[in-house]
Amino acid sequence: MKRMLIFLFIAFVFVAVIGFGIWMFRWQYGRADEALENWARDNNFKVLSKQDANPPGTGPKDRYAGNKQIWYRVTVEDAGGKKRTGIVKIGSESTGTLSDQISVEWDD
Partner 1 sequence: MGLGDDIGAAIDEITSNLVVRESDWKFVTSGGAAVTVSTPIARVGINAGGGMIQVQRDSDSSPTTLVFGGIGGSIGLSLVPTPANFSFSIPAMPSAGRIYKLPFAGWTLTKDELQGAFVMIEAAGDFGPGGAGALMFMGGSVLAAGAIGGMTYGAGALPTLIATAECCVAFGGMTASLIPANVSLSVYVGIIGDV
Q: Interface with partner 1 by CB under 8 A: which residues?
A: 2-3, 6-7, 9-10, 13-14, 16-18, 20-22, 24-25, 28, 56-57, 60-68, 91, 93-98
69 touches 90 (CB < 8 A): yes
Half-sphere exposure of 22 (CA within 13 A, CB side): 5
Instruction: Provide, rounded to whole angstroms, the least separation between the CB of residue 40 and partner 1.
Output: 22
- Length of the chain measured in residues: 108
Instruction: Provide, rounded to whole angstroms, the least separation between the CB of residue 31 and partner 1.
Output: 9
Query: Other CB atoms closer than 10 Å to residue 97's CB: what's the count?
Result: 24
Instruction: Provide, rounded to whole angstroms, the least separation between the CB of residue 53 and partner 1.
Output: 14
